[in-house]
A = this chain, B = another copy of it.
Amino acid sequence: MSQSQTQSKTINRRFLLASRPHGAPTPDNFKLDQSPVPVPAAGELLLRTVYLSLDPYMRGRMSDAPSYAAPVAVGEVMVGGTVSRVEVSEHADYKAGDLVLSYSGWQDYALSDGKGLTKLDAKLGKPSYALGLLGMPGFTAYMGLLDIGQPKAGETVAVAAATGAVGSVVGQIAKLKGCRVVGIAGGADKCKYAVEELGFDACIDHRAADFPQQLAAACNKGIDVYFENVGGAVFDAVLPLLNTRARVPLCGLIANYNATGKPQGPDHLPGLMRNMLTRRIKMQGFIIFDDYGHRYMEFFKEMSGWILAGKMKYREDIVDGLENAPQAFIGLLEGKNFGKLVIRAGDE
């Protein structure tokens, strides 16, 4: 029985933020709400969620600690990017059946006035790629690596969460640019995949007791670009290996997202700054659409070219059923996913 057969056409299932997590999110931080499917007014569309993207940044939105974006209010629908199908159109630019990139959140249905939607091109691989390789994670990888990281052929690029939605793209682009790529991932299967499928030169398991030593051995010429999306103990092992004039694009710190009180990681801020000074390291945080939104088409064209030329491998970890979103998201923060985590909420 396919997922769509179980879906109601009259009930909209929505996951609301029930309470703010303390530490790791738990299932009771989410509340499954059922409400009638809304009806579009003139100029509006009814969208049916086909794929829901689950991404680490959502942990930040569940919290009301100061951040770059407003938190989701308790009682509101959890936010998230979606690939959605136009179910009913009262809008001149769309017709029923169109697939669009939307930001409908964790729910089966959403209304839209068309603003902010992007129609998807069926030529470019799977529609779900719009949430990954061709979407926010791929764009993050591309701009962070190329604009901030500025890798040069022959340099060593290290990337953590190496088989994830961002890291896998960082490493593959770095290979296209002629770099030596050393991935960091959790577990032998992911490391094997990074080397054998993604073509990385090496991939080190951060769960190994001698991880820092293994990483140093794999980076025997040091690290010129470290794409930082993890933080914590991984960064602790990377810091001593950063070369003079190393660049550290900083797009995430997933190791700390569930921290309560003092976060994990190296406990020596002056030490970091001293290293940055003496080795002239550049570290720069970025939030992809806020900082690079105006360059999306540049990314889209080049990445589309790589996809059509067969130069990009992309693994998705697809979980069936919107009802499984909370558990899948909890697992994402523990590194349980293998590839880009996507919820299949409805049929293409």
Judged by a CB distance under 8 angstroms, whether A24 is at the interface is no
Q: A281 — nearest CB in chain B belongs to which residue? A: B285
**Cβ–Cβ contact B283 & A290, under 8 A:** no
Q: Which of A45-53, A105-113, A268-276, A314-322 is the contact stretch? A: A268-276
Chain A 270-302 interface 0/1 with B at a Cβ cutoff of 8 Å (1 = within):
111110111111111111001100000000000
A250 to B277, CA, bound (A): 6
**Cβ–Cβ contact B277 & A253, under 8 A:** yes
Partner of A270, one of B68, B251, B263, B271: B263
- State the copy count for this chain: 2
Q: A282 — nearest CB in chain B belongs to which residue? A: B284
Measured as residues with beta carbon below 8 angstroms from the partner, the interface class of chain A is 35 or more
A66 to B270, CA, bound (A): 15
The minimal Cβ–Cβ distance linking A287 to chain B, given in whole angstroms, is 6
Judged by a CB distance under 8 angstroms, whether A189 is at the interface is no
The minimal Cβ–Cβ distance linking A246 to chain B, given in whole angstroms, is 10
A285 to B284, CA, bound (A): 12
Chain A 101-123 interface 0/1 with B at a Cβ cutoff of 8 Å (1 = within):
00000000000000000000000
Q: Which residues of B contact A267 (CB under 8 A)?
A: 267, 269
**Cβ–Cβ contact A272 & B269, under 8 A:** yes
List the 6 shortest-distance A-B pairs measured between CB atoms, nearest first. A263-B270, A277-B285, A282-B284, A269-B269, A276-B285, A265-B270
Q: List 10 A-B contacts (CB under 8 A).
A: A68-B244, A231-B270, A235-B273, A253-B274, A265-B270, A267-B269, A268-B269, A276-B285, A280-B290, A282-B285
